[in-house]
Amino acid sequence: MSRSVLGPVVRPLAACFLLASGSLGLPAQAQEMGSREWAQATRDERLGWFRDARFGMFIHWGLYAVPGGVWNGTNHAGAGEWLMHSAKITPADYAPLQAQFNPVEFNADEWVRIAKAAGQKYIVITSKHHDGFALFDSALTEWDVMGTPFKRDIIKELADACEREGVVFCVYHSIMDWTHPDYLPRRGWDNRPTGTADFDRYREFMKGQLSELLSGRYGDMGILWFDGEWEDTWNHDLGLDLARHVRTLQPSIIINNRVDKGRRGMEGLDGEGEWEGDYGTPEQEIPASGLPGVDWETCMTMNGSWGFHQNDHHWKSAESLVRNLVDIASKGGNFLLNVGPQPDGRIPQASIDRLTAMGDWMETNGESIYGTAASPFNRAPSWGRVTQKPLPEGKTRLYLHIFDWPTASAGATMVEFTLPPFKNAWSNARLLGNTGFRVMPGAEAGTVLLPAEAPSAVASVLAIDLEGAPEVVALFTAPAADGSVNLAARDASLAGQLRYEDRFDNIGYWTDSMGRVWWEFAAPAGTYEIHCMVAATAAEGGGRFAIELDGSTVAQVDIPATNGWGDFTNVKAGTVHMENQDPHTITIRAVDKPRMALMNLREVRLVPAK
Ligand code: H79
């Protein structure tokens, strides 16, 4: 059975437009265009397939799969590939794992089939993780797969299988190396003498291994996914040098931002300044909103471990993984979803089950993900997410991913759905996966009639074609059934050094006294009590904030200390009178921030006063 969503991803041929150098060392094309525009053009050229692909498979595999997170009978939670670090294992004690690595069930074609059936367009596998072990045949070390009983070049077999199946093959490569004698700094418990260690020699070794990987033996690679760049021995100049080395070998390759030192925290995006790397790498998190002009890819585990962990059974549901993919696409990013194969060479069944479910959803709805761009709206609608795609003749197709299907009245066969607010004329509305149903305009303007039953319990996609570019109206929160206006952290607009945090469903990391948070909302005229859900520890947080309504300060609040950053308390901040005027804006900003952070803010509620 062939699936239409699995068409091959077309990549530019590596060398054709890059090797004709002019006198400045730049191609003639570049001299005509000016090198800056050219850099952007080649960047767009390089990233074309990546932006279309949207969904990839991450594979963490190495010797650490053998102990699977357990060392000498002790379980190390979260530490699959980090076991050597977490269990403080010396290189000498770790070395015997090499003789135990014999994944006789490994079948590269099977792995690629699993990825393809899930709708994943590219695969990124660990050629070398932090333990320094090479999963490929390296002439530069004995610390490679050819020194195991298995003696098969896993990277080569997977690269060939990807080539056969039209999946883009990519590798992860760790800069940090816990076993190479020349890598510095050493782990605290590593008892090898550092006497002759030479970091420059380590760099030559790493570049040599990358030359092996990029020699053509493994074909044209899609991405070089660096990691482990955060230790003090790595710096910006070394990052530039490494990127140059890689691009000299394969000019069209995409390089993630971890080659350099621009990445800021686990949100993974570059800070101010000029940094090497094509895209940002949020790890285990999804940015709160779209990031115009920035390419990014969220990498995430399906349970809590990257490498195989025998005791980690904490799996995310297929539903939340599909919604993550949709959420990411609606913000213009890619989803790199991880599997950690077992020591026998098979991908865990729990991972296969989730990938199969995602593939089923993608088979019906993939056109709403591949080749789409971020939503044109200022924020996500309450019922789901939006992606868009340009059509011929200047039209635009919106894909409305409905997570929460409207509730039909008893016995009704249809239900009214309010479209997100846009001014364009529309046509050709249809539900993906339900070609029999004709979507008609509802009785009220801006509504359509849909079947009472959602086509998908996870995310049903309504495609609708607009005349021209989307002319959208800003989305704002409407009152709940009881008349209160609930302004949730996840719906807030943010400015400054602060961000939405999944952990406690709050706005946090509020270290910037100039930072502000605001919501636009609709509400009938009246008097409302203001309630704020806040948390702040006495040691690190606290101070005072102001609440502004439509630009005027209406209250100031002293932040109470709570028993932790996840321990929220409700603060009443007086009452406010609102005139009839939509939308209103509520803004929160710091007045006094005496310690590291101001507060965690989960919600602001406006409750009609009795
Ligand atoms: O390759 C994957 C991770 O091994 C690597 N990047 C992704 C793609 C990574 N590097 N650093 N981190 C992840 C975050 C480190 C978290 C740690 Fe821990 C906390 C290391 C030690 C304490 C998690 C928990 C790992 C061991 C215990």
The encoded tokens of residue 65 equal 């799969």
Judge if 130 and 213 occupy the same domain.
Answer: yes
Range of weakest confidence among 3-7, 202-206, 242-246: 3-7
248, amino acid identity = T
- Cβ of residue 153 lying under 6 Å from some atom of ligand 1: no
From the list 71, 55, 249, the residue with the least C-alpha distance to 168 is 55
pLDDT of 3 strictly over 50: no
Among candidate residues 331, 365, 399, the one where a domain is terminated: 365
Residue 378: inside a domain? no
- In short, whether 297's Cβ falls inside 6 Å of ligand 1 is no
Are 196 and 252 found together in one domain? yes
- Is 480 within a domain? no
Burial of 304-323, coded b for 16+ CB within 10 Å and e otherwise, reads bbbbbbbebeebeebbebbb
| Same domain for 397 and 264 | no
Which ligand 1 atom sits nearest the alpha carbon of residue 172? 1
Instruction: Give the residue-averaged pLDDT of 188-205.
Output: 96
Q: Which residues, 6+ apart, have CB-to-CB distance to 373 below 8 Å?
A: 332, 387, 388, 389, 390
Are 523 and 598 in a shared domain? yes
Question: The domain spanning residue 510 has which CATH number?
Answer: 2.60.120.260
Angle ∠(174,178,182) on CA atoms, nearest 5? 95
Q: Does ligand 1 come within 6 angstroms of the Cβ of 510? A: no
- Report if residue 240 sits inside a domain: yes
Same domain, 392 and 326: no
Instruction: Find the domain containing 235 and state its range.
Output: 3-365
Q: Decide which of 365, 396, 416 is a domain's last residue.
A: 365
Q: Domain ends where: 466, 499, 516? A: 466
Confirm if 436 and 479 have CB atoms less than 8 A apart.
no
Give yes or no for residue 361 having a pLDDT over 50: yes
98 with 27, same domain? yes
Burial class of residue 599 (count of CB atoms within 10 Å of its CB; 0-12, 13-18, 19+): buried
pLDDT of amino acid 261: 96
Mean pLDDT over the full length of the chain: 92
| Number of structural domains the chain divides into | 3
Is residue 336 situated within a structural domain?
yes
Q: How far is the CA of 153 from the centre of ligand 1 (A)?
A: 26
479 within domain boundaries: no
Q: Does one domain contain both 266 and 318?
A: yes
Q: Which of 48-52, 262-266, 289-293, 475-479 has the highest mean pLDDT?
A: 48-52
Q: Does residue 221 sit in the same domain as residue 267? A: yes
Q: Is the CB of 491 under 6 A from ligand 1?
A: no
Of the listed ranges 235-239, 292-296, 332-336, 547-551, the least confidently predicted one is 292-296
Q: How many A from CA of 270 to the centre of ligand 1?
A: 19
Pocket test for ligand 1, best of 60, 82, 177 (most atoms within 8 A of CB): 82
Would 475 be classed as within a structural domain?
A: no
Tell me, using a 6 A CB cutoff, whether residue 225 lines ligand 1.
no
Atom 26 (ligand 1) nearest CA: 79
Verify that 433 and 345 share a domain, yes or no. no
Beta strand spans in 138-200 (E): 168-174
* 341, 409: one domain: no
Q: Let me know if residue 373 belongs to a domain.
A: no
pLDDT reading at 26 higher than 60: no
- Angle, CA of 308, 133 and 88, to the nearest 5°: 70
Lowest mean pLDDT among 283-292, 548-557, 578-587: 283-292
pLDDT digits (tens, 9 = 90+) for 478-536: 888 899 999 999 888 888 888 888 889 999 999 989 989 999 898 999 999 999 999 99
Do 440 and 505 share a structural domain?
A: no
Q: What are 365-423's pLDDT values in tens digits?
A: 999 999 999 999 988 998 999 999 999 999 999 999 999 999 999 999 999 999 999 99
Query: What is the average per-residue pLDDT within 70-87?
Result: 97
CATH of the domain at 77: 3.20.20.80
Backbone angles phi, psi at 90, to 5 degrees: -80, 160
Most confident among 13-27, 114-128, 515-529 (mean pLDDT) = 114-128
